[in-house]
Amino acid sequence: NQSQNQSQYKSQSQSQSLSLSLKHAEAVEEEEEKPKFKPTAPKIPDGEKVDFDDIQKKRQNKDLVELQGLIDAHFECRKKEEEELIALKERIEKRRAERAEQQRVRAEKEKERQARREEERRSKEESDAKKKADEEAKKKSALSSMGSTYSSHLQRADQKRGGKKETEREKKKKILAARRKPLNIDHLNEDKLKYESRLAHSRFVIFTFSLTKLFIFIFSLCLCRDKINELHEWMTQLESEKFDHMERLKRQKYEVRAHVM
């Protein structure tokens, strides 16, 4: 039974392969029998002449029409590009004119600012010179008044010492001394001169010391005022440099924006 089954299976497989090969052969034959498309030249009717010149002329006219269309499209494109270029040039010129006007206005403002600063500086120098002259005059008047006051004080002191009213006894002594024989009092006169010289020297030393203290005080005031003026000028210079730097930064930002546009 097993051998019979195997033989039946082999015969079935062989019959299936044979049927497949037959189908494939039939398909190939049908494919070969189908008519293939072959391009053929158009048939010219018998008895009519073919005008090749007319055909060539029509072809040339067609080519000319196409060429003319391309030329017109090209010139139209060129025209649009030229119009855009002209508009761009106009915008550039307008922007350039606006920038020139802005720079002119900025230059005028800067010129006015410089003139205003120069006028302020000149007026400040004049006021400082006037103040300095007034202070010098006040110093001179103070010194002169101090000297006159001190001299008047010395005069009053001398008058107090030497302006006492003489008594009758002193008058009699003077009269008797005048009647007597004059004695040798040169050494007394020298002592008196020495005493007056020492007194004058001590007065001069006191006056010089007081005057030196006054000069030191005035000089310290002048130094403080000069230092304050120097600090004020330095702060003014810093403010001016800051303003110039901000203006330069604004100008650079504007130029960068204009270049980008």
DSSP string, 106-172: HHHHHHHHHHHHHHHHHHHHHHHHHHHHHHHHHHHHHHHHHHHHHHHHHHHHHHHHH-PPPPHHHHH
pLDDT exceeds cutoff 60 at 72 = yes
Please report the pLDDT score of residue 164 as a whole number.
47
Please report the pLDDT score of residue 259 as a whole number.
66
* pTM assigned to the model: 0.28
The band of 188, judged by pLDDT with boundaries at 50, 70 and 90, is very low
Question: Domain spans of the chain?
Answer: 58-127, 200-261
Number of residues in the chain: 261
The band of 232, judged by pLDDT with boundaries at 50, 70 and 90, is confident
Q: How far apart are CA 29 and CA 31, in angstroms?
A: 5
In this predicted structure, which of 32-46, 190-204, 207-221 has the lowest mean pLDDT?
32-46
How confident is the prediction for the chain on average, in pLDDT?
72
Please report the pLDDT score of residue 186 as a whole number.
46
Cα three-residue angle 98-100-101, rounded to 5 degrees: 65
pLDDT digits (tens, 9 = 90+) for 171-182: 666 666 655 544
Q: How far apart are CA 151 and CA 199, in angstroms?
A: 14
| Stronger pLDDT, 156 or 78, i.e. the higher one | 78
The band of 42, judged by pLDDT with boundaries at 50, 70 and 90, is low
pLDDT exceeds cutoff 50 at 187 = no
Characterize 115-144 residue by residue with b for buried, 16 or more Cβ atoms within 10 angstroms of its Cβ, and e for exposed: eeeeeeeeeeeeeeeeeeeeeeeeeeeeee
Most confidently predicted of 14-23, 62-71, 241-250:
62-71
pLDDT exceeds cutoff 50 at 67 = yes
